[in-house]
Amino acid sequence: MKTLEWPKFIIKWGQLMHKITVVGAGYVGLVTGACLAEFGMKVACIDKNTAKINGLKKGKIPIYEPGLEELVEKHYYHKRLNFTTNIKNAVEESEVIFIAVDTPTKEDGGVDLSSVFQVAEDIAKYINGNKIIINKSTVPVGTAQKVKQTISDILLKKNINITFDVVANPEFLREGSAVNDFLKPDRIVLGVESKSAEKVMREVYGVLDGHGIPFIVTNLETAEMIKYAANAFLAIKITFINEVANLCEKVGADVKIVAAGMGMDHRISPEFLQPGPGYGGSCFPKDTKALAKTGRDNNVPLTLVEQTITANEVQKQRMIEKIYSNMGNLKGKTIGVLGITYKPETDDMREAPSLVILEGLVQKGASIKVYDPAGEKEGQWRFNHIKNNVVFCSNEYDAIKEADAILILTDWSQFKHMNLDYIKDQLRGNYFFDFRNMFDRKAMEAKGFQYYGVGR
Ligand code: UGA
């Protein structure tokens, strides 16, 4: 764990310790709370879900995130991190309040901000002195201003004269490496409206300031836009390489080498140029839709983003077609699926390509055997509607035993080290669909597999 590297700084900055409340003990809130405690702050994580809070107090972490459990345990033990359901006390006792609640997608692609405004109202209800209120949740441009207005209106109605600041401080955490991303970010983005708010925020992130991490200090709207533009750009980049991969297949090019050749141009970079079955997760699908809607609402259509959303859905369908067109009739065939989470090192299946692909394969008559190192619990209920055709297995070898084909949908590194000779022996057929390009075509063909990657 790299989280223990800065004890000297923690002691130094601990002297400047701020009392912080993080509202929302979900994925972002919990990582934020635990990491701010690591920075030397005194943090209360609050959530209305009593069972979750009680579980956290007993060291039960509701999500799978490498490094988080150790951090929570350490700081809970040292009383730097606490968990509560009492928002009144939490607001009263802290000067800095992070809002990190859920912002689900609405049917029209917009963002449901009801939880964010509920927290704003709660803060206004219990505010007892100057506070800095920070939006960490991913929210459309203009939300920080609306949060400010919501609180001001309530205070005005109650004739309360208390000053407060609203700050937009988006997160850039990737699931699976969120702790490390928080502790060692590429940049800190601060949308602020006063020098005093900037000063406190610089103290909160003081350890990073001390480590030379760049701070972008700007207005609220720009900070909010940076988050959406960054996620949409990455989604476009993945979609671009997915489409190039599809073309590579037709013209005899190898997308892996194409991506490597492109990535060596430092203006392009090799990151996020791995083709696959389509991007998933709770962020790219949601944020691209929200940004596209903001564009439509402002009469500035973001055509590239709109097209990316469509192309990503098409990519998942192409994967089904690729299996079907090569294997033929899938009735009575068994496919051993390795990986169902939207990416490795997480148990999260939100918008995972596996949701669409497995359903499509079952519709075409296939039976599925699944193994995922972390996804079974979520997979059990997400595939409940096709449960008669989906069996969960306890390891990769069980999942492929007597199957007609192997299908890799998530690039868990343990799959890279599978005993391929044994697998070949155990399989009934010899189809190998590697939709994360984990293996080398020639080596796989030499072992007797009919190998299909993406774009090669
Ligand atoms: C993403 C961003 O990377 C974070 O910076 C951001 O903070 C986060 O969303 C968020 O908004 O909270 P995350 O969704 O955790 O993080 O996952 P990524 O690692 O970005 O992967 C997203 C999807 O893209 C996955 O399905 C992954 O398999 C796919 N992907 C990624 C590719 O298909 N190819 C690539 O080259 C990279």
Q: Ligand 1 centroid vs 284 CA: distance in angstroms? A: 7
Compute the average pLDDT of residues 143-159. Answer: 97
Give pLDDT tens digits for 31-90. 999 999 999 999 999 999 999 999 999 999 998 899 999 999 999 999 999 999 999 999
> Atom 31 of ligand 1 has which residue's CA nearest to it?
272
Joined together, the tokens standing for residue 187 give: 């940049």
Mutate to test the pocket of ligand 1, among 63, 68, 173, 438 (most ligand atoms within 8 A of CB): 173
Least confident of 110-124, 202-216, 417-431: 202-216
For ligand 1, is residue 236 a contact (CB within 6 Å)? no
For ligand 1, is residue 173 a contact (CB within 6 Å)? yes
Give the residue numbers annotated as catalytic, written as ranges: 283
Ligand 1 atom having least distance to the Cα of 28: 12
Angle (CA) 60 63 66, round 5°: 95
Ligand 1 atom having least distance to the Cα of 227: 11
Helices (H) then strands (E): counts for the chain:
20, 14
Q: Which helix (H) or strand (E) holds 156?
A: helix 143-157
Q: Which domains does the chain have, with CATH numbers?
A: 19-218 (3.40.50.720), 231-452 (3.40.50.720)
The neighbouring-strand residues paired with 104 are none
Cβ–Cβ < 8 Å for 101, 70: no
> Atom 1 of ligand 1 has which residue's CA nearest to it?
174
- Whole-angstrom CA distances from 352 to 46, 281, 339, 373, 378 are 29, 6, 10, 15, 11
The Cα 100–Cα 24 span in angstroms is 5
| CA atoms in the 13 A half-sphere facing the CB of 351 | 17
Mutate to test the pocket of ligand 1, among 32, 272, 291 (most ligand atoms within 8 A of CB): 272
For ligand 1, is residue 272 a contact (CB within 6 Å)? yes
Q: For residue 8, name the pLDDT band (cuts at 50, 70, 90).
A: very low
**% of the chain surpassing 90 pLDDT:** 93
Joined together, the tokens standing for residue 413 give: 């590194």
Q: Is the confidence at residue 2, as pLDDT, over 60?
A: no
Q: For residue 229, name the pLDDT band (cuts at 50, 70, 90).
A: very high
Angle (CA) 23 24 28, round 5°: 110
255 contact partners, CB below 8 Å, separation of at least 6? 241, 244, 245, 248, 275, 437, 454, 455, 456
Q: Is the confidence at residue 14, as pLDDT, over 90?
A: no
Q: What are phi and psi of 7, to 5 degrees?
A: -60, -35
6 contact partners, CB below 8 Å, separation of at least 6? 207, 211
Alpha helices in 364-428 (DSSP H): 376-382, 396-400, 413-416, 420-426
Q: What is the largest CA-CA distance in the chain?
A: 79
Give pLDDT tens digits for 94-117. 999 999 999 998 988 889 999 999
Q: Is the confidence at residue 4, as pLDDT, over 90?
A: no
Q: Is the confidence at residue 167, as pLDDT, over 90?
A: yes
Ligand 1 atom having least distance to the Cα of 410: 28
The pLDDT, as a whole number, for residue 135 is: 97
- Helix (H/G/I), strand (E/B), else coil: 406: strand
26 contact partners, CB below 8 Å, separation of at least 6? 47, 63, 100, 101, 102
> pTM higher than 0.85 for the full model?
yes
Q: Ligand 1 centroid vs 174 CA: distance in angstroms? A: 6
- Whole-angstrom CA distances from 20 to 44, 195, 235, 236, 265 are 6, 19, 33, 36, 43
The pLDDT, as a whole number, for residue 109 is: 84
> Atom 7 of ligand 1 has which residue's CA nearest to it?
172
| CA atoms in the 13 A half-sphere facing the CB of 286 | 18
The Cα 292–Cα 294 span in angstroms is 5
Token look-up 């009735």 returns 331
Joined together, the tokens standing for residue 262 give: 């492109």
> Atom 34 of ligand 1 has which residue's CA nearest to it?
274
